[in-house]
Amino acid sequence: MFDKLFYQEKGLFLQSLHPATVLVYLNVLFVLSLLYQNPLYLLGLFFFLVLLIIEVDGMEAWSGFLKAGVSLMLIIMIINPLVIRAGATIIWHGPELPILGKLDISMEALYYGAVSSIRLLVIISIFCLYNLMINPDKVLNLFSKVAGKSVLMIALSTRMLPTMVRDLKRIKEVQQFRGVDFDEGSLWARVKKYSCLYNVLLLSSLEDSLEIAESMQARAFGSGKRSVYSRNILRPRDIICMVASFLALFAAIWGLQYGYGQYTFYPQADFLIKDRITLTTLSVVIFYLSAPIILSEGWKNCRFLKSKI
Amino acid sequence: MPLFKVENLTYYYPETEKAALRGINLEIEEGEFILVAGGSGSGKSSLARVLAGLIPDFYGGRIGGRVFFKGKDIRTMDRRKLAMEVGMVFQDPEKQMVQSYVEAEIAFGLENLGLDTEEMSRRIAEVISFMNLTSIREMFTANLSGGQQQKLALAAVLAMQPHVLILDEPTSQLDPVSAEEILNLVKRLNEEMGFTVIMIEQRLERCFHLADRVLFIERGEIVCDGKAQEKACEAIKMGLPFVPPVARFFADLNFPSVPITVKEGRKLLRSCLRGKKPTSKIQFGLCRNNVHVEDLREQNSVVSLKNVWFTYPGGQEVLKDASLDIKEGEFVAILGENGAGKSTLLKHMIGMLKPGRGKVHVLGKDISKNGYKEIRRLTAYLSQNPNDYLFQDTVEDELLFTLKNFALTDISVVDEMLEKFHLSRYRKTNPRDLSSGERQRVALASVLVTRPRLIILDEPTRGVDFRLKADLGKFLQKEAEKGSTVIVVTHDVEFAAEFAAKVAMMFSGRIVSDGEKHEVLGKSIFYSPQIGKMCMGICEGVLTFAEAQEIIFPLIEDKRTITLLRTGENA
């Protein structure tokens, strides 16, 4: 059921990028989503991310991520106007409440809540994109040289997790057939029943871990300094995407220095588009960020480009 | 100079007073294929671990005697150098995977050896093409089938380019087709690439003929060592059951040299039976185990599946119009390859899954609607892993746990079960301190204390030796004779042929064949026991050793025939 939310190899262009390229690119997107205040810029990023998600065939996964994010969005949109008193345009005068004080709802606070929700959507979409674009094992492999043992521990845990979930399901079935009702009894009684379940899982996992350790020892683990097998290949497409990511970041920082991308909500909301450069800066940043999408389309439709990148 | 030389080896595991290995003397030459056979806990795996350098390094304990590899004392050898020379593949493929992806798993051993990227890439490419793993190289290891995982485990060891390959029951978790694939690979490695192979196996019918030499181990000692063909007769005379059925058949007839393959057996059987017609199968086959098919038709249906369809949430259609009717007192084996839908079918029988379409009635209850709670008091279910049952402090507590949950007050059944399963002396022992065979008996006892009418077992013979398998089979037969219904899901064709009365075969979610075991297995080429394969077309309907004894022995035991044959052989 949750398989769709995680990485699946589909042979797509965006999945063929070097993990370092993907990390740089997604980090640029993440930094921009935090730096930008202007709702137009955040909306621009959001629609751009939708394009990227379509490009990695991830709409189904994205809808799963959004479902989880919608409740958070609603909370932000409701709480913000209730607690923020900085807005000048009051649209509803509410009663006096014990802790919150006078409940006046301002349009600016509502606006800020809505923009924060868009930011949240953008961040959720970036995480979704990470899951769709990058094989977690390749990311671990990237850090093997600097943190070999930690990476190995994460890899072992990743591998063990589905096994343990399956074991737990099987042990629960066994216990149910031995007369245990997990949904009956007081809370304490149910906690006790589940503790037995986890007890079996823990005992079996400890025994299994010895077998894994033995297999590791038989394959010379701990017999001396390890080397690292890198399976990641750096291609021209990675260089192009990395350069484009940095150019997008520089263009965004330049713009922010001059106020393009900044926005003031309180006491009164700023203009959305101050001048033509507001749109030009956004277009330049989006253009640079579009490098992977442009290359991906070229890779799909142009044999010449495919052979060169 | 021998590759391995073992001198007077004795070994005790930590905190034990009983030696796991006693006075072992052994020499292994380069390029040999050695099969190590013996009962559970006889010391086979301990010997393998000594040769791989894991005992005493990994396990600790007390060791006496010496083990030399290429003339050097194995204990003084550098661990990395030893791992480059001796590779070991373990029983359970899932419990030897370290990495989450296939290619990373193959690279793991090479990284441990500190090889450079170029060398690693070359070796990985080579082993992936040799083992035909290209299609799965990017896959998540947890998503692989058992056969693929064991192939990967073998590939991960082969990439380290050892000269010796030690395999500890590498096929015990696999279906017959995957097992055959692994064994063929091992044979190729030995014959074409000169690997020295030391293999421990329980299912000897699969691999006895592959070995140049067999070692029989009992109570930590080598009791028989020599060429497979020669030692088969000797082993039988010594009362050891660790010989494939074809060899046992001819050895019992006092043939001086016994065949060890079906091909040789068929040739010899044809020459023995020349001109003689064995009796019709009607006279023996259908009435074994005191169960008549006609009688069963009159009995009540205990499990009835009618046109059951089932699709998992991911969209995988696993059961397709499966129908099966199992009567009271029947012993039914369900066979089929991995992924055929056996376990899903079993989960419908115990009410853990509800069918998308169709009806499931068990013990007269419609469990397709109401689930497992209606039947569990009268149903014993033993899963593939006996460890799933063991968490109490003592064996006795495990049995009492089930009784208490069902509010049963008659605890005299505990003594009865402990006695029946030879567990009385372990009453106060922690079940996790017992051997695998004993653990299985505890798990079985813990579900049988409710005196169930229906006993369902999922792969109960995995990794179980001949003797324990026979004990289990006989016990289940007795329960069926007493009126309980027994259903076993298994890959073990020999077990099904020997002990079950009925067999159902599954393929791709369908029950493709269902009936009396002679009807189903007698017609099958691949799902037929070794004796059945030997007799196919010569003496129809014979499946088991006992049936062969009953039908063929009287015809062959004609001394003149044997004398003539011997004369012919000598000439």
How distant, in Å, are the alpha carbons of A225, A261, B565, B566, B568 from that of B571?
64, 101, 10, 8, 5
Q: Where are the alpha helices (DSSP H) in B273-330?
A: 293-298
Every domain of chain A and the residues it spans: 3-139+231-308, 146-218
Alpha-carbon span B218 to B21, nearest angstrom: 9
The alpha carbon of residue A170 is apart from the nearest alpha carbon of chain B, in Å, by 8
Give the one of A179, A211, A226 whose C-beta lies nearest to B96's C-beta: A211
Order of strands, sheet of B502-507, starting from the edge strand that comes earlier in the sequence: B379-382, B454-458, B485-489, B331-336, B502-507, B510-516
User: B443 and B467 share a domain?
Assistant: no
Give the one of B88, B350, B401 whose C-beta lies nearest to A178's C-beta: B401
Instruction: Answer yes or no: do A203 and B87 touch at CB < 8 A.
Output: no
User: B127 and B42 share a domain?
Assistant: yes
User: B333 and B467 share a domain?
Assistant: yes
The alpha carbon of residue B105 is apart from the nearest alpha carbon of chain A, in Å, by 10
State residue B278's pLDDT score.
66
Per-residue pLDDT, averaged over B419-438, amounts to: 89
Instruction: Answer yes or no: do A215 and B90 touch at CB < 8 A.
Output: yes
Instruction: Answer yes or no: do A229 and B117 touch at CB < 8 A.
Output: yes
Residue B243 has pLDDT above 50, yes or no: yes
Enter the tokens of residue A142: 């990237």
Cβ neighbours of A47 (radius 10 Å): 11
Concatenate the DSSP letters of all residues of A92-115 into one string.
Answer: EEEEEETTTEEEEEEHHHHHHHHH
Instruction: Answer yes or no: do A211 and B90 touch at CB < 8 A.
Output: yes
Cβ neighbours of B122 (radius 10 Å): 12
The bridge status of strand B62-69 relative to strand B485-489 is unpaired
Give the one of A174, A221, A227 whose C-beta lies nearest to B383's C-beta: A174
Q: Which residues of B touch A230 (CB under 8 A)?
A: 117
**In chain B, how many H helices and how many E strands?**
23, 20
Closest Cα in chain B to A11: B138
Per-residue pLDDT, averaged over B354-378, amounts to: 86
Alpha-carbon span B454 to B483, nearest angstrom: 9
Range of the domain at B403: 387-452
Query: B321: pLDDT confidence band, cut at 50, 70 and 90?
Result: very high
User: B117 and B49 share a domain?
Assistant: yes
Total structural domains within chain B: 3
Classified as helix, coil or strand, A199 is helix
Q: Which residues of A touch B52 (CB under 8 A)?
A: 218
State residue B289's pLDDT score.
47
Give the one of B314, B406, B447 whose C-beta lies nearest to A3's C-beta: B314
pLDDT, tens only, B48-103: 999 999 999 999 999 999 999 999 999 999 999 999 999 999 988 888 988 888 99
Alpha-carbon span B11 to B30, nearest angstrom: 25
Instruction: Answer yes or no: do B313 and A180 touch at CB < 8 A.
Output: no
Q: Is residue B561 part of a domain?
A: no
Instruction: Answer yes or no: do B108 and A171 touch at CB < 8 A.
Output: no
Per the CB < 8 A criterion, the answer to whether B299 and B352 are in contact is no
Cβ neighbours of A224 (radius 10 Å): 11
Alpha-carbon span A260 to A255, nearest angstrom: 5
Percentage with pLDDT > 70 across chain B: 93
Whether residue A267 has a cis bond before it, omega within 30° of 0: yes
The alpha carbon of residue A135 is apart from the nearest alpha carbon of chain B, in Å, by 10
State residue B215's pLDDT score.
93
Instruction: Answer yes or no: do A173 and B383 touch at CB < 8 A.
Output: yes
Cβ neighbours of B147 (radius 10 Å): 21
Give the one of A159, A219, A224 whose C-beta lies nearest to B114's C-beta: A224
Instruction: Answer yes or no: do A200 and B94 touch at CB < 8 A.
Output: no
Question: A78-114 burial string, b = 16+ CB within 10 Å, else e?
Answer: eebbeebbebeeeeeeeeeeeeeeeeebbbbbbbbbe
Which distant-in-sequence residues (6+ apart) come within 8 Å of B192 by Cβ?
none
State residue B277's pLDDT score.
67
Alpha-carbon span B344 to B308, nearest angstrom: 11
The bridge status of strand B301-311 relative to strand B454-458 is unpaired
User: B395 and B461 share a domain?
Assistant: no
Q: Beta partners for B335?
A: B505
Instruction: Answer yes or no: do A212 and B95 touch at CB < 8 A.
Output: yes
User: B467 and B480 share a domain?
Assistant: yes
pLDDT, tens only, B514-558: 999 988 988 888 888 889 888 888 887 888 888 888 888 777 765
State residue B160's pLDDT score.
95
Enter the tokens of residue A85: 């008193």
Q: List average pLDDT for each run of 10 residues in chain A, which is 309 residues long.
A: 68 91 96 94 95 92 85 87 81 79 83 91 93 85 84 82 86 91 88 90 90 93 90 90 96 93 84 87 96 94 86
The alpha carbon of residue A143 is apart from the nearest alpha carbon of chain B, in Å, by 14
Weakest-pLDDT range from A204-218, B223-237, B282-296: B282-296
Per the CB < 8 A criterion, the answer to whether B464 and B472 are in contact is yes
State residue B558's pLDDT score.
59
Q: Beta partners for B318?
A: none
Alpha-carbon span B62 to B343, nearest angstrom: 43
Q: Is residue B208 part of a domain?
A: yes
User: B167 and B100 share a domain?
Assistant: yes
Enter the tokens of residue A25: 């690119």
Residue B282 has pLDDT above 50, yes or no: no
Query: B239: pLDDT confidence band, cut at 50, 70 and 90?
Result: confident
Per the CB < 8 A criterion, the answer to whether B93 and A208 are in contact is no
Instruction: Answer yes or no: do A135 and B101 touch at CB < 8 A.
Output: yes
Alpha-carbon span B384 to B489, nearest angstrom: 10
State residue B285's pLDDT score.
43
Closest Cα in chain A to B379: A177
- The half-sphere exposure of B185 on its side-chain side, counting CA atoms within 13 A, is 25
What number of residues does chain B have? 571
Instruction: Answer yes or no: do B83 and A219 touch at CB < 8 A.
Output: yes
Of the spans A82-96, B25-39, B309-323, which averages the highest pLDDT? B25-39
Task: Give the residue from A179, A177, A223, A38 showing the smallest Cα distance to A119.
Answer: A38
Q: Which residues of A touch B98 (CB under 8 A)?
A: 152, 155-156, 159, 212, 215-216, 219
Q: Beta partners for B486?
A: B331, B455
The alpha carbon of residue A142 is apart from the nearest alpha carbon of chain B, in Å, by 12
Query: B190: pLDDT confidence band, cut at 50, 70 and 90?
Result: very high
The alpha carbon of residue A151 is apart from the nearest alpha carbon of chain B, in Å, by 10
Q: Which residues of B touch A203 (CB under 8 A)?
A: 387, 390-391, 432
The alpha carbon of residue B461 is apart from the nearest alpha carbon of chain A, in Å, by 18
- Containing B110, the helix (H) or strand (E) segment is helix B102-112
3-state percent breakdown (helix, strand, coil) of chain B, nearest 5 = 45, 20, 35
User: B435 and B461 share a domain?
Assistant: no
pLDDT, tens only, B126-180: 999 999 899 998 888 888 888 888 899 999 999 999 999 999 988 887 777 788 8
Cβ neighbours of A303 (radius 10 Å): 9
Classified as helix, coil or strand, A143 is helix
Task: Give the residue from B105, B47, B114 showing the smallest Cα distance to B80.
Answer: B114
Give the one of B142, B350, B391 whose C-beta lies nearest to A177's C-beta: B350
Strands (E), B115-209: 164-168, 196-200
Domain boundary among B452, B472, B490: B452
Instruction: Answer yes or no: do A159 and B100 touch at CB < 8 A.
Output: yes
Alpha-carbon span B341 to B469, nearest angstrom: 24
User: B283 and B314 share a domain?
Assistant: yes
User: B93 and B189 share a domain?
Assistant: yes
Instruction: Answer yes or no: do B101 and A177 touch at CB < 8 A.
Output: no
Which residue type does A45 have?
L
State residue A183's pLDDT score.
85
Instruction: Answer yes or no: do A219 and B112 touch at CB < 8 A.
Output: yes
Instruction: Answer yes or no: do A227 and B111 touch at CB < 8 A.
Output: yes
Enter the tokens of residue A148: 């070999």
CA dihedral over A96, A97, A102, A106, signed as positive or negative: negative
Domain CATH code at residue B55? 3.40.50.300
Instruction: Answer yes or no: do B104 and A218 touch at CB < 8 A.
Output: no
Query: B340: pLDDT confidence band, cut at 50, 70 and 90?
Result: confident
Q: Which residues of A touch B447 (CB under 8 A)?
A: 177-178
State residue B287's pLDDT score.
43
Q: Which residues of B touch A227 (CB under 8 A)?
A: 110-111, 113-117, 120
State residue B295's pLDDT score.
52
CA dihedral over A59, A64, A69, A70, signed as positive or negative: positive
User: B192 and B331 share a domain?
Assistant: no
Order of strands, sheet of B317-327, starting from the edge strand that comes earlier in the sequence: B317-327, B301-311, B357-362, B365-366
Instruction: Answer yes or no: do A226 and B120 touch at CB < 8 A.
Output: no
Instruction: Answer yes or no: do A229 and B446 touch at CB < 8 A.
Output: no
Instruction: Answer yes or no: do A211 and B95 touch at CB < 8 A.
Output: yes
Enter the tokens of residue B456: 């369902």
Give the one of A173, A200, A223 whose C-beta lies nearest to B112's C-beta: A223
Q: Which residues of A touch B101 (CB under 8 A)?
A: 135, 137
Order of strands, sheet of B62-69, starting from the edge strand that comes earlier in the sequence: B21-28, B4-12, B62-69, B72-73
Mean pLDDT over all residues of chain B?
87
Give the one of A9, A200, A215 whose C-beta lies nearest to B391's C-beta: A200
User: B441 and B482 share a domain?
Assistant: no
State residue A86's pLDDT score.
80
Instruction: Answer yes or no: do A178 and B92 touch at CB < 8 A.
Output: no
Instruction: Answer yes or no: do B109 and A217 touch at CB < 8 A.
Output: no
Give the one of B54, B83, B110 whose C-beta lies nearest to A214's C-beta: B54
Per-residue pLDDT, averaged over B207-218, amounts to: 91
Strands (E), B128-171: 164-168
The alpha carbon of residue B25 is apart from the nearest alpha carbon of chain A, in Å, by 23
